A = this chain, B = another copy of it.
Amino acid sequence: MGDVYRAIADPTRRAILDELVERDGQTLFELCTRLVTKHDVASSRQAVSQHLDVLVDAGLVSRRREGRYTFHHVHTAPLGEIPARWPTTGG
């Protein structure tokens, strides 16, 4: 199992998480185009794919294969470790 902290250390991966939270279950090409148009992130298909590998390995994203499409789903639960480890004022 990969490292959740390292997974969110990269700004492109954070933008991917933002996109998946806004619209869950996107394919690789969907993510690429939406990252360009809405997050000003111009990464190639392979780059985004490798970023998704890291996110999957950290348990933040899961893949669901359907025909020739692969849909990506976000899971923010592992991020709960962070405020649990270092509580901020009030929670």
A21 to chain B: which residues have CB within 8 Å?
A: 86
* Contact status B88-A80, CB under 8 Å: yes
Contact B88 A77 (CB under 8 A): yes
Complex interface residues of chain A between 7 and 56 (CB less than 8 A to chain B):
8-9, 11, 14, 17-18, 21
The 10 A-B pairs with the shortest beta carbon distances in the complex, nearest first, are A9-B9, A80-B88, A76-B86, A83-B83, A76-B88, A5-B9, A6-B9, A82-B82, A5-B8, A79-B86
Q: Interface residues of A toward B: which range?
A: 20 to 34
The SS class assigned to the A binding surface is helix
A65 at the interface (CB under 8 A from B): no
Q: Select which of B3, B14, B76, B86 is within 8 A of A87 by beta carbon.
A: B76
